[in-house]
Amino acid sequence: MAALAAPIAQARTAPFTGAHAVVRALEAQGVEYVFGYPGGAIMPVYDALTGSSLKHVLVRHEQGAALAADGYARVSGKPGVCIATSGPGATNLVTGIANAFLDSVPMIAITGQTPTPLMGTDAFQEIDTFGITLPIVKHSFVVRDPADIPSVFAEAFALATAGRPGPVLIDLPKDVTQASLAVPPGIDQTGPAPRRKFEQPGAGAIANAIALIEQAKKPLLYVGGGVGIAAAEQALRAFHARTGIPAVATLKGLGAIPTGSENYLDMLGMHGGQAANLAVQESDLLIACGARFDDRATGKLDTFAPNARIIHFDADPSEISKLRDADVSLIGEMTAILDALRPARLDIQDWRDHCAAMKTRYAPRYDAPGSGVFAPALLKALSEQAGDDFIATCDVGQHQMWVAQHCRFSRPQAHLTSGGLGTMGYGIPAGIGALFAEPDATVVTITGDGSIMMNIQELATIKRYRLPLKIVLLDNAQLGMVRQWQELFFEENFSEIDLYDNPDFAELARAFGIEAFTVDRRSEVPDAIDRLLSARGPILAHVRIDPRENVWPLVPPGAANSQMMEA
């Protein structure tokens, strides 16, 4: 991995161009890795990469570049950088950019563009990248003067990380990157852009929040992805410990409070745990920490936590009272807010005992009948055996929900999933990015037979860089989540979900030069986990599971979270 991901060696003597300014600007921001795929309009930048300190990771599809940059950013906390050429290169980035936008992931997407004299003429591989991406970025730049490159990149990195993070696009016409220019003064001294300081809520708002907490008999922490984004998990854990307030988490909030913690109930929402959903419905105070009241978490919104007052704090003021009116809003740096919330007295022991009893009563069972592999039990055992180094990168479908329900997570960076966009094909590229961010972690991609085919070409990237990515492929020969919904809500009219003609995935992985094996029976699972975790290089476990297995519990569409369907 280290050898092939090393900086591109040996610079050539050549004029200093806009492309060199791009490379210098990335270096000035402390960028180490860029994920990309070359092409005509971006070729000057690739020419300038030679001899730089940047380490380029060659993916096999531009969507893989954006999703790998996403995974890198989520684990490292630094903006991920992806590069593509104009036209199809740029449009192939779009899904990954949208994914980062909806999950608030800092990203710099750099695209080549037709030379400025040809823009608007339908030139070869010309596309309005600025217009296409406008709804899914925090900001866009089209650079028309190479002298602007240092300031544009500095501003882009500042915007990507400020407040609520997200992607920023920089579109580079080819003549701009080819143009010669004097080395801009101070380009090497710009340094990483500082993150904007938040204004903090006033003492009155903090006092009002504390008063609500002290008055509550059934308070509940509702933890969202904003906690991990703000790196506020330690402050949250301290607040949770000193108050003893029970907690639930969204899909993106998993790991902010370790999943095995006392007074932590489970994920809430459509596939949330019964104890978590029932506790929300019974609560009289909901403390929303970096959560956005997403429809998958709330179910039918007007029935969500019907008896609860709301304390809502977030970095993004647009989220406050967007879907549910807040009784107290706290906008600012989450760590500082949590540290300031120090209620003097709490009379909630009966509530804690009640939540603990529900947690015990509704705990998942792993004694499924039969001799076949029971996916929830496999995933639970795998995550526990992997320990605190475990990072799961998930695709989308039934396996995604099983991971969220049954895996052990000790930190927010341990659970990488496409929450807002639901992007199939996310898992393997995100695993690649995660390993470049944290090479010593035990990174496991959990995918399905539908999802893996979306970006299976990135097996070549894994092989090229000798990445020790562990892939667990749960194969039910179905588009499992679609099949489950068709079974339950479309009168078993199974339409276009049968993947009977899947390839032999173990053989396919071996064709890419990756170790692989197949698991069919439950008795094989312990040895399979040992083999996965002890492998020094990339490895794929092709796990065949019952195509009739469903994810439970399930809140039906349009229902309240208390109206959960069970197996």
* 189 carries an active-site annotation: no
* 463 carries an active-site annotation: no
Give the other-Cβ count within 10 Å of 344's Cβ: 7
DSSP 210-268: HHHHHH-SSEEEEE-THHHHTT-HHHHHHHHHHH---EEE-TTTTTSS-TT-TTEEEE-
Phi, psi values for residue 394, rounded to 5°: -105, 150
* 157 carries an active-site annotation: no
DSSP secondary structure code for residue 545 in this structure: B
From 267, 270, 401, 481, the catalytic residue? 481
Instruction: Decide if 4 contacts 465 (C-beta within 8 A).
Output: yes
Sign of CA dihedral 458, 463, 467, 469: positive
**Long-range interactions of 500-505: CB distance < 8 A, separation 24+:** 502/449, 502/475, 502/477, 504/542, 505/449, 505/452, 505/473, 505/475, 505/540, 505/542
* 62 carries an active-site annotation: yes
Residues 398, 449: Cα–Cα separation, whole Å: 11
Instruction: Give CA separation, 158 vs 149, 195, 412, in Å.
Output: 14, 6, 23
Extract the tokens encoding 263.
């007074």
DSSP secondary structure code for residue 132 in this structure: H
Q: Which residue has the tokens 């108050």?
A: 243
From 125, 178, 200, 215, the catalytic residue? 125
Q: Which residue has the tokens 């998990």?
A: 233
* 125 carries an active-site annotation: yes
Residues 220, 263: Cα–Cα separation, whole Å: 10
Residues 238, 254: Cα–Cα separation, whole Å: 16
Q: Find the helix packing angle between 525-534 and 375-386, rounded to 10°.
A: 40
Nearest to 512 by CA among 532, 477, 476, 538: 538
Extract the tokens encoding 41.
């309009």
Looking from the CA of 102 toward its CB, the CA atoms found within 13 Å total 14
Q: Find the helix packing angle between 62-76 and 88-102, rounded to 10°.
A: 30
Strand order in the sheet with 80-84: 55-58, 33-36, 80-84, 107-113, 167-173, 139-142
From 29, 35, 55, 62, the catalytic residue? 62
| Burial annotation 203-217 (CB, 10 A radius, 16+ → b, else e) | eebbebbbebbeebe
Instruction: Decide if 502 contacts 439 (C-beta within 8 A).
Output: no
> Containing H/E element for 447?
strand 442-448
Residues 508, 156: Cα–Cα separation, whole Å: 40
Chain centroid to Cα 444, Å, comes to 14
Residue type, 484: Q
Q: Give CA torsion, residues 292, 269, 420, 411, to 10 deg.
A: 80
Active-site positions read 62, 124-125, 174, 481
